[in-house]
Structure 1
Amino acid sequence: MFNFSTPLLKPILVLEDDPTHQLRISKVLQTFGYKEKDIFYSQTIDFAVNICSKNSIQFMLVDLNLPDGNGIDFIMHIRAKSTNTVPIMVLSEWNTLDVIYKALNVGATGYVLKETDDFELMFAIRTMLKGGAIIDPHIAKKILSKFKKSLSDFPMSHEHVHTNLSQREIEILTCISNGSSSYEIGLELNISKYTVDAHIKKIYQKLEVNSRTKAIYAAKQIGLIN
Protein backbone atom coordinates (compact mmCIF):
# COMPACT_ATOMS: atom_id res chain seq x y z
CA MET A 1 0.00 0.00 0.00
CA PHE A 2 1.22 3.50 -0.83
CA ASN A 3 2.80 5.33 2.12
CA PHE A 4 1.12 8.70 2.64
CA SER A 5 3.14 9.64 5.71
CA THR A 6 4.63 13.12 5.42
CA PRO A 7 5.26 16.11 7.71
CA LEU A 8 1.96 17.91 8.26
CA LEU A 9 1.26 21.61 7.75
CA LYS A 10 -0.91 22.83 10.63
CA PRO A 11 -3.40 24.28 11.02
CA ILE A 12 -5.28 23.75 7.78
CA LEU A 13 -8.31 25.59 6.37
CA VAL A 14 -11.03 23.85 4.39
CA LEU A 15 -13.24 26.36 2.55
CA GLU A 16 -16.15 24.21 1.36
CA ASP A 17 -19.90 24.82 1.73
CA ASP A 18 -21.11 21.28 1.00
CA PRO A 19 -21.25 19.21 4.24
CA THR A 20 -20.81 15.97 2.26
CA HIS A 21 -17.57 17.19 0.70
CA GLN A 22 -16.44 18.58 4.05
CA LEU A 23 -16.85 15.13 5.57
CA ARG A 24 -14.99 13.49 2.70
CA ILE A 25 -12.09 15.93 3.01
CA SER A 26 -12.03 15.44 6.78
CA LYS A 27 -11.68 11.67 6.39
CA VAL A 28 -8.90 12.05 3.81
CA LEU A 29 -6.99 14.47 6.04
CA GLN A 30 -7.34 12.11 8.99
CA THR A 31 -5.59 9.47 6.86
CA PHE A 32 -2.50 11.68 7.01
CA GLY A 33 -2.77 12.03 10.78
CA TYR A 34 -4.63 15.34 11.04
CA LYS A 35 -6.81 15.75 14.12
CA GLU A 36 -10.06 17.71 14.21
CA LYS A 37 -8.31 20.43 16.23
CA ASP A 38 -5.88 20.90 13.31
CA ILE A 39 -8.63 21.72 10.81
CA PHE A 40 -10.70 24.88 10.45
CA TYR A 41 -13.85 24.65 8.34
CA SER A 42 -15.66 27.49 6.61
CA GLN A 43 -18.69 27.53 4.33
CA THR A 44 -18.22 31.18 3.28
CA ILE A 45 -15.42 33.44 2.11
CA ASP A 46 -16.21 35.99 4.80
CA PHE A 47 -15.77 33.48 7.64
CA ALA A 48 -12.65 32.04 5.99
CA VAL A 49 -11.08 35.50 5.92
CA ASN A 50 -11.96 35.87 9.60
CA ILE A 51 -10.31 32.53 10.39
CA CYS A 52 -7.14 33.52 8.53
CA SER A 53 -6.97 36.86 10.37
CA LYS A 54 -6.91 35.07 13.74
CA ASN A 55 -4.87 31.97 12.92
CA SER A 56 -1.60 31.24 11.14
CA ILE A 57 -3.06 28.89 8.53
CA GLN A 58 -0.37 26.76 6.86
CA PHE A 59 -2.34 24.97 4.13
CA MET A 60 -5.68 25.65 2.43
CA LEU A 61 -8.17 23.60 0.43
CA VAL A 62 -10.55 25.93 -1.38
CA ASP A 63 -13.76 25.37 -3.32
CA LEU A 64 -14.67 27.98 -5.95
CA ASN A 65 -18.46 27.98 -5.97
CA LEU A 66 -19.38 29.50 -2.59
CA PRO A 67 -22.52 31.18 -1.22
CA ASP A 68 -20.92 34.62 -0.91
CA GLY A 69 -18.67 34.63 -3.96
CA ASN A 70 -15.96 32.87 -5.94
CA GLY A 71 -13.07 31.12 -4.21
CA ILE A 72 -10.75 32.85 -6.68
CA ASP A 73 -11.55 36.13 -4.93
CA PHE A 74 -10.56 34.55 -1.62
CA ILE A 75 -7.24 33.36 -3.08
CA MET A 76 -6.60 36.87 -4.43
CA HIS A 77 -7.29 38.29 -0.97
CA ILE A 78 -4.85 35.86 0.65
CA ARG A 79 -2.10 36.45 -1.92
CA ALA A 80 -2.52 40.23 -1.61
CA LYS A 81 -0.59 39.86 1.64
CA SER A 82 2.96 39.80 0.32
CA THR A 83 4.17 37.52 3.12
CA ASN A 84 1.56 34.84 2.47
CA THR A 85 3.02 31.93 0.54
CA VAL A 86 1.03 29.04 2.05
CA PRO A 87 0.07 26.29 -0.42
CA ILE A 88 -3.50 26.63 -1.68
CA MET A 89 -5.18 23.73 -3.44
CA VAL A 90 -8.40 24.34 -5.33
CA LEU A 91 -10.84 21.43 -5.04
CA SER A 92 -13.67 22.21 -7.42
CA GLU A 93 -16.24 20.84 -9.85
CA TRP A 94 -15.34 23.53 -12.37
CA ASN A 95 -13.07 22.21 -15.11
CA THR A 96 -13.12 24.93 -17.77
CA LEU A 97 -9.65 26.08 -18.77
CA ASP A 98 -10.37 29.79 -18.33
CA VAL A 99 -11.38 29.25 -14.68
CA ILE A 100 -8.39 26.97 -14.07
CA TYR A 101 -5.94 29.46 -15.60
CA LYS A 102 -7.42 32.29 -13.54
CA ALA A 103 -7.18 30.31 -10.28
CA LEU A 104 -3.55 29.42 -10.97
CA ASN A 105 -2.76 32.95 -12.10
CA VAL A 106 -4.01 34.54 -8.87
CA GLY A 107 -1.99 32.19 -6.70
CA ALA A 108 -3.45 28.69 -6.40
CA THR A 109 -0.63 26.13 -6.21
CA GLY A 110 -2.79 23.14 -7.10
CA TYR A 111 -6.06 22.39 -8.88
CA VAL A 112 -7.92 19.11 -8.37
CA LEU A 113 -11.40 18.13 -9.50
CA LYS A 114 -13.93 16.91 -6.94
CA GLU A 115 -14.69 13.93 -9.15
CA THR A 116 -11.22 12.51 -8.46
CA ASP A 117 -11.19 9.43 -6.25
CA ASP A 118 -9.90 9.43 -2.67
CA PHE A 119 -6.57 7.82 -3.57
CA GLU A 120 -5.82 10.50 -6.17
CA LEU A 121 -6.92 13.21 -3.74
CA MET A 122 -4.57 11.81 -1.09
CA PHE A 123 -1.72 11.75 -3.60
CA ALA A 124 -2.45 15.38 -4.54
CA ILE A 125 -2.49 16.52 -0.91
CA ARG A 126 0.72 14.60 -0.18
CA THR A 127 2.43 16.27 -3.14
CA MET A 128 1.49 19.71 -1.86
CA LEU A 129 2.47 18.91 1.74
CA LYS A 130 5.92 18.02 0.39
CA GLY A 131 6.19 21.41 -1.31
CA GLY A 132 5.12 20.44 -4.81
CA ALA A 133 2.38 21.71 -7.10
CA ILE A 134 -0.38 19.52 -8.50
CA ILE A 135 -2.70 19.64 -11.50
CA ASP A 136 -5.50 17.11 -11.87
CA PRO A 137 -4.56 14.63 -14.66
CA HIS A 138 -7.82 15.38 -16.53
CA ILE A 139 -6.99 19.09 -16.47
CA ALA A 140 -3.39 18.45 -17.51
CA LYS A 141 -4.65 16.46 -20.49
CA LYS A 142 -6.86 19.40 -21.53
CA ILE A 143 -3.97 21.84 -21.21
CA LEU A 144 -1.63 19.60 -23.22
CA SER A 145 -4.26 19.18 -25.91
CA LYS A 146 -4.69 22.93 -26.19
CA PHE A 147 -0.90 23.42 -26.20
CA LYS A 148 -0.46 20.91 -29.03
CA LYS A 149 -3.17 22.68 -31.01
CA SER A 150 -1.42 26.01 -30.48
CA LEU A 151 1.79 24.45 -31.81
CA SER A 152 0.01 23.18 -34.92
CA ASP A 153 -1.35 26.70 -35.47
CA PHE A 154 2.09 28.23 -34.91
CA PRO A 155 3.04 30.07 -38.10
CA MET A 156 6.45 29.05 -39.36
CA SER A 157 8.05 30.39 -42.49
CA HIS A 158 10.33 27.51 -43.48
CA GLU A 159 12.31 29.53 -45.96
CA HIS A 160 13.57 31.67 -43.07
CA VAL A 161 14.56 28.72 -40.87
CA HIS A 162 18.22 27.82 -40.90
CA THR A 163 18.57 24.07 -41.35
CA ASN A 164 22.36 23.84 -41.39
CA LEU A 165 22.53 21.76 -38.22
CA SER A 166 25.65 19.74 -37.69
CA GLN A 167 25.48 15.97 -37.38
CA ARG A 168 26.11 16.28 -33.64
CA GLU A 169 23.27 18.79 -33.29
CA ILE A 170 20.91 16.46 -35.14
CA GLU A 171 21.97 13.62 -32.83
CA ILE A 172 21.21 15.78 -29.80
CA LEU A 173 17.91 16.92 -31.29
CA THR A 174 16.93 13.27 -31.83
CA CYS A 175 17.74 12.51 -28.19
CA ILE A 176 15.64 15.51 -27.11
CA SER A 177 12.71 14.19 -29.15
CA ASN A 178 13.04 10.89 -27.25
CA GLY A 179 12.59 12.75 -23.98
CA SER A 180 16.20 12.59 -22.77
CA SER A 181 17.55 15.22 -20.37
CA SER A 182 20.81 17.09 -21.02
CA TYR A 183 22.54 14.85 -18.48
CA GLU A 184 21.23 11.67 -20.16
CA ILE A 185 22.23 12.95 -23.60
CA GLY A 186 25.72 13.65 -22.30
CA LEU A 187 26.06 10.10 -21.02
CA GLU A 188 24.80 8.63 -24.29
CA LEU A 189 27.10 10.73 -26.49
CA ASN A 190 30.04 10.74 -24.05
CA ILE A 191 30.13 14.52 -23.69
CA SER A 192 29.48 16.80 -20.71
CA LYS A 193 26.06 18.20 -19.83
CA TYR A 194 27.44 21.71 -20.41
CA THR A 195 28.51 20.79 -23.94
CA VAL A 196 25.02 19.41 -24.57
CA ASP A 197 23.44 22.65 -23.32
CA ALA A 198 25.72 24.68 -25.59
CA HIS A 199 24.64 22.58 -28.60
CA ILE A 200 20.99 22.99 -27.62
CA LYS A 201 21.41 26.76 -27.52
CA LYS A 202 22.83 26.69 -31.06
CA ILE A 203 19.96 24.44 -32.19
CA TYR A 204 17.45 27.00 -30.84
CA GLN A 205 19.23 29.78 -32.73
CA LYS A 206 19.30 27.87 -36.01
CA LEU A 207 15.65 26.79 -35.78
CA GLU A 208 14.56 30.19 -34.41
CA VAL A 209 12.77 28.69 -31.41
CA ASN A 210 13.05 29.03 -27.62
CA SER A 211 12.03 25.66 -26.18
CA ARG A 212 12.62 21.95 -26.63
CA THR A 213 9.01 21.36 -27.64
CA LYS A 214 9.15 23.98 -30.39
CA ALA A 215 12.54 22.71 -31.54
CA ILE A 216 11.14 19.18 -31.95
CA TYR A 217 8.08 20.50 -33.77
CA ALA A 218 10.17 22.68 -36.11
CA ALA A 219 12.61 19.86 -36.85
CA LYS A 220 9.80 17.45 -37.70
CA GLN A 221 8.13 20.03 -39.93
CA ILE A 222 11.25 20.41 -42.05
CA GLY A 223 12.20 16.73 -41.99
CA LEU A 224 15.29 16.87 -39.78
CA ILE A 225 13.91 14.15 -37.48
CA ASN A 226 11.08 11.64 -37.77
Structure 2
Amino acid sequence: MELSSILIVDDMEASLARLERLLREAAPAPQAQVHAAADLAGARGLLQARPFDLALVDMQLPDGTGIDLIHWMRAHAPAVQAVVVSAFAEEEAIFSALRAGAVGYLLKDRDDVELVVALRSLQRGGAPIDPMIARRILALLPQDAVPTPAPPVQLSARELDILNLVAQGYGNREIADLLGLSRLTIESHTRNIYRKLAVGSRTAAVFEARSLGLLP
Protein backbone atom coordinates (compact mmCIF):
# COMPACT_ATOMS: atom_id res chain seq x y z
CA MET A 1 0.00 0.00 0.00
CA GLU A 2 1.18 3.49 -0.82
CA LEU A 3 1.14 5.86 2.16
CA SER A 4 1.05 9.09 0.20
CA SER A 5 -2.27 10.45 1.46
CA ILE A 6 -3.41 9.67 4.99
CA LEU A 7 -6.34 10.78 7.12
CA ILE A 8 -6.17 10.77 10.93
CA VAL A 9 -9.53 10.85 12.70
CA ASP A 10 -9.10 11.69 16.39
CA ASP A 11 -10.47 14.47 18.59
CA MET A 12 -7.43 14.61 20.91
CA GLU A 13 -4.79 17.11 19.78
CA ALA A 14 -1.99 15.20 21.49
CA SER A 15 -2.97 11.98 19.71
CA LEU A 16 -3.21 13.77 16.36
CA ALA A 17 0.27 15.25 16.77
CA ARG A 18 1.77 11.92 17.84
CA LEU A 19 0.20 9.92 15.00
CA GLU A 20 1.27 12.48 12.41
CA ARG A 21 4.84 12.32 13.73
CA LEU A 22 4.82 8.50 13.63
CA LEU A 23 3.42 8.51 10.12
CA ARG A 24 6.25 10.77 9.01
CA GLU A 25 8.63 8.12 10.33
CA ALA A 26 6.73 5.22 8.75
CA ALA A 27 6.24 6.98 5.40
CA PRO A 28 9.15 9.43 5.14
CA ALA A 29 8.47 10.41 1.51
CA PRO A 30 8.40 14.24 1.38
CA GLN A 31 5.28 14.21 -0.80
CA ALA A 32 3.25 12.26 1.77
CA GLN A 33 0.21 14.28 2.82
CA VAL A 34 -1.43 13.89 6.22
CA HIS A 35 -4.85 15.40 6.95
CA ALA A 36 -6.79 15.36 10.21
CA ALA A 37 -10.43 15.38 11.29
CA ALA A 38 -11.78 15.62 14.83
CA ASP A 39 -15.17 14.01 14.23
CA LEU A 40 -17.24 11.91 11.84
CA ALA A 41 -18.64 14.89 9.96
CA GLY A 42 -15.19 16.29 9.25
CA ALA A 43 -13.84 12.89 8.24
CA ARG A 44 -16.70 12.25 5.82
CA GLY A 45 -16.22 15.68 4.28
CA LEU A 46 -12.52 15.05 3.65
CA LEU A 47 -13.13 11.53 2.33
CA GLN A 48 -15.66 12.90 -0.15
CA ALA A 49 -13.40 15.76 -1.21
CA ARG A 50 -10.17 13.88 -1.99
CA PRO A 51 -8.71 10.37 -2.31
CA PHE A 52 -6.86 8.77 0.59
CA ASP A 53 -4.77 5.62 0.88
CA LEU A 54 -5.26 5.12 4.61
CA ALA A 55 -7.42 6.33 7.49
CA LEU A 56 -6.29 5.97 11.11
CA VAL A 57 -9.49 6.02 13.12
CA ASP A 58 -10.09 6.44 16.85
CA MET A 59 -13.01 4.52 18.35
CA GLN A 60 -14.60 7.30 20.39
CA LEU A 61 -15.48 10.51 18.53
CA PRO A 62 -17.69 13.46 19.53
CA ASP A 63 -20.46 12.60 17.06
CA GLY A 64 -20.24 8.81 16.89
CA THR A 65 -17.78 5.93 16.82
CA GLY A 66 -14.95 4.81 14.61
CA ILE A 67 -17.07 1.80 13.67
CA ASP A 68 -19.74 4.16 12.31
CA LEU A 69 -17.12 5.79 10.11
CA ILE A 70 -15.67 2.48 8.90
CA HIS A 71 -19.17 1.28 7.92
CA TRP A 72 -19.67 4.54 6.03
CA MET A 73 -16.30 4.19 4.31
CA ARG A 74 -17.15 0.69 3.17
CA ALA A 75 -20.07 2.12 1.20
CA HIS A 76 -18.70 5.52 0.16
CA ALA A 77 -14.88 5.21 0.12
CA PRO A 78 -14.11 1.49 -0.29
CA ALA A 79 -10.61 2.09 -1.67
CA VAL A 80 -9.44 3.65 1.61
CA GLN A 81 -7.92 1.21 4.08
CA ALA A 82 -8.99 1.79 7.69
CA VAL A 83 -6.88 1.00 10.75
CA VAL A 84 -8.23 1.61 14.24
CA VAL A 85 -5.82 3.29 16.67
CA SER A 86 -7.53 3.36 20.02
CA ALA A 87 -7.14 3.10 23.77
CA PHE A 88 -10.05 0.64 23.88
CA ALA A 89 -9.21 -3.07 23.87
CA GLU A 90 -12.62 -4.61 24.54
CA GLU A 91 -13.26 -7.72 22.43
CA GLU A 92 -16.67 -6.54 21.26
CA ALA A 93 -15.21 -3.29 19.91
CA ILE A 94 -12.27 -5.07 18.28
CA PHE A 95 -14.37 -7.64 16.43
CA SER A 96 -16.99 -5.06 15.48
CA ALA A 97 -14.28 -2.91 13.90
CA LEU A 98 -12.74 -5.83 11.99
CA ARG A 99 -16.10 -7.02 10.75
CA ALA A 100 -16.99 -3.48 9.68
CA GLY A 101 -13.95 -3.44 7.41
CA ALA A 102 -10.91 -2.32 9.42
CA VAL A 103 -7.70 -3.95 8.20
CA GLY A 104 -5.95 -3.50 11.53
CA TYR A 105 -6.37 -2.58 15.18
CA LEU A 106 -3.60 -0.88 17.17
CA LEU A 107 -3.49 0.33 20.75
CA LYS A 108 -2.40 3.86 21.61
CA ASP A 109 -0.49 2.82 24.71
CA ARG A 110 2.17 1.00 22.67
CA ASP A 111 5.65 2.49 22.32
CA ASP A 112 6.31 4.71 19.34
CA VAL A 113 8.65 2.18 17.73
CA GLU A 114 5.99 -0.55 17.90
CA LEU A 115 3.43 1.64 16.17
CA VAL A 116 5.91 2.72 13.49
CA VAL A 117 6.73 -0.94 12.70
CA ALA A 118 3.02 -1.74 12.50
CA LEU A 119 2.34 1.19 10.16
CA ARG A 120 5.27 0.26 7.93
CA SER A 121 3.85 -3.25 7.56
CA LEU A 122 0.90 -1.72 5.69
CA GLN A 123 3.24 -0.80 2.84
CA ARG A 124 4.05 -4.51 2.44
CA GLY A 125 0.39 -5.51 2.35
CA GLY A 126 0.27 -6.46 6.03
CA ALA A 127 -2.67 -6.20 8.41
CA PRO A 128 -1.34 -4.64 11.64
CA ILE A 129 -2.91 -6.14 14.75
CA ASP A 130 -1.67 -5.35 18.25
CA PRO A 131 0.03 -8.48 19.66
CA MET A 132 -2.29 -8.61 22.66
CA ILE A 133 -5.32 -8.49 20.38
CA ALA A 134 -3.82 -11.13 18.08
CA ARG A 135 -3.44 -13.47 21.06
CA ARG A 136 -7.10 -12.95 21.94
CA ILE A 137 -8.15 -13.78 18.39
CA LEU A 138 -6.02 -16.93 18.35
CA ALA A 139 -7.45 -17.99 21.71
CA LEU A 140 -10.93 -17.97 20.18
CA LEU A 141 -9.97 -20.26 17.29
CA PRO A 142 -10.61 -24.02 17.53
CA GLN A 143 -7.70 -25.75 19.28
CA ASP A 144 -8.54 -29.39 18.48
CA ALA A 145 -9.15 -31.50 15.44
CA VAL A 146 -12.68 -32.66 16.27
CA PRO A 147 -14.58 -33.05 12.97
CA THR A 148 -17.20 -30.38 12.42
CA PRO A 149 -20.10 -30.23 9.99
CA ALA A 150 -19.41 -28.82 6.54
CA PRO A 151 -19.38 -25.03 6.77
CA PRO A 152 -22.28 -23.17 5.18
CA VAL A 153 -19.85 -20.98 3.24
CA GLN A 154 -18.33 -22.61 0.17
CA LEU A 155 -15.21 -21.13 -1.40
CA SER A 156 -13.78 -22.33 -4.69
CA ALA A 157 -10.35 -23.98 -4.83
CA ARG A 158 -8.90 -20.80 -6.34
CA GLU A 159 -10.50 -18.63 -3.65
CA LEU A 160 -9.04 -20.89 -0.96
CA ASP A 161 -5.60 -20.66 -2.58
CA ILE A 162 -5.83 -16.87 -2.51
CA LEU A 163 -7.13 -16.77 1.05
CA ASN A 164 -4.30 -19.02 2.23
CA LEU A 165 -1.79 -16.60 0.72
CA VAL A 166 -3.62 -13.65 2.29
CA ALA A 167 -3.34 -15.41 5.67
CA GLN A 168 0.43 -15.68 5.10
CA GLY A 169 0.65 -11.90 4.68
CA TYR A 170 1.00 -11.62 0.90
CA GLY A 171 -0.46 -8.58 -0.87
CA ASN A 172 -2.56 -8.74 -4.04
CA ARG A 173 0.38 -8.00 -6.34
CA GLU A 174 2.48 -10.74 -4.75
CA ILE A 175 -0.41 -13.22 -4.93
CA ALA A 176 -0.90 -12.41 -8.61
CA ASP A 177 2.78 -13.15 -9.30
CA LEU A 178 2.73 -16.38 -7.29
CA LEU A 179 -0.40 -17.72 -9.03
CA GLY A 180 0.41 -16.38 -12.49
CA LEU A 181 -2.75 -14.27 -12.63
CA SER A 182 -3.41 -10.58 -13.15
CA ARG A 183 -3.86 -8.27 -10.19
CA LEU A 184 -7.38 -7.45 -11.42
CA THR A 185 -8.26 -11.15 -11.34
CA ILE A 186 -6.98 -11.44 -7.78
CA GLU A 187 -9.00 -8.38 -6.75
CA SER A 188 -12.12 -9.90 -8.35
CA HIS A 189 -11.62 -13.17 -6.43
CA THR A 190 -10.99 -11.18 -3.24
CA ARG A 191 -14.27 -9.32 -3.63
CA ASN A 192 -16.07 -12.65 -4.05
CA ILE A 193 -14.38 -13.97 -0.90
CA TYR A 194 -15.49 -10.88 1.06
CA ARG A 195 -19.06 -11.28 -0.25
CA LYS A 196 -19.27 -14.98 0.64
CA LEU A 197 -17.82 -14.45 4.11
CA ALA A 198 -19.80 -11.22 4.68
CA VAL A 199 -16.70 -9.27 5.69
CA GLY A 200 -15.01 -6.08 4.55
CA SER A 201 -11.27 -6.59 5.03
CA ARG A 202 -8.42 -9.07 4.64
CA THR A 203 -8.03 -9.45 8.39
CA ALA A 204 -11.72 -10.14 8.91
CA ALA A 205 -11.75 -12.61 5.99
CA VAL A 206 -8.93 -14.66 7.50
CA PHE A 207 -10.50 -14.56 10.96
CA GLU A 208 -13.94 -15.59 9.64
CA ALA A 209 -12.52 -18.35 7.43
CA ARG A 210 -10.57 -19.84 10.33
CA SER A 211 -13.59 -19.66 12.61
CA LEU A 212 -15.54 -21.60 9.95
CA GLY A 213 -12.81 -24.21 9.54
CA LEU A 214 -11.96 -23.11 5.97
CA LEU A 215 -8.35 -22.32 6.87
CA PRO A 216 -5.95 -24.19 9.18
Q: Is 1:27 matched up with 2:17?
A: no
Matches within 5 A, 1:192-207: none
Query: 1:221 matched to which residue of 2?
Result: none
Query: 2:57 matched to which residue of 1?
Result: 62
Q: 1:212 to 1:106 in 2, by over 3 A?
A: closer
Q: Equivalent residue of 1:95, what SS?
A: coil
Q: Equivalent residue of 1:80, what SS?
A: helix
| More RCO (CA 8 Å, sep 6+) | 2
Query: 2:40 matched to which residue of 1?
Result: 45
Q: Is 1:124 matched up with 2:98?
A: no
**1:27 Cα deviation from its structure 2 partner:** 1.1
Residue-by-residue CA offset, 1:83-102 (whole Å, 9 max, x unaligned): 62322110011111111111
**1:155 Cα deviation from its structure 2 partner:** 7.1
Length, aligned pairs only? 152
Q: Is 1:77 matched up with 2:72?
A: yes
Unaligned runs of 5+ in 2: 149-211
Q: Equivalent residue of 1:134, what SS?
A: coil
Unaligned runs of 5+ in 1: 1-6, 158-208, 214-226
Query: 1:201 matched to which residue of 2?
Result: none
Q: Which amino acid aligns with 2:140?
A: K
| Kept after mapping to 2: 8 A contact 1:60/1:88 | yes
Residue of 85, 101, 105 corresponding to 2:95: 101
**1:22 Cα deviation from its structure 2 partner:** 0.8
**TM-score, scaled relative to structure 2:** 0.63
**1:34 Cα deviation from its structure 2 partner:** 5.3
Q: Equivalent residue of 2:120, what SS?
A: helix
Query: 1:139 matched to which residue of 2?
Result: 133
For residues 106 and 71 of structure 1, what CA distance do their matches in structure 2 show?
10
For residues 109 and 89 of structure 1, what CA distance do their matches in structure 2 show?
6
Aligned-residue Cα RMSD (Å) equals 2.6
Query: 1:164 matched to which residue of 2?
Result: none
Larger Rg: 1
| Kept after mapping to 1: 8 A contact 2:3/2:32 | no
**1:14 Cα deviation from its structure 2 partner:** 0.3
For residues 32 and 104 of structure 2, what CA distance do their matches in structure 1 show?
24
For residues 10 and 113 of structure 1, what CA distance do their matches in structure 2 show?
23
Q: Equivalent residue of 2:56, what SS?
A: strand
Query: 1:196 matched to which residue of 2?
Result: none
Q: Which amino acid aligns with 1:64?
A: M
**TM-score, scaled relative to structure 1:** 0.60
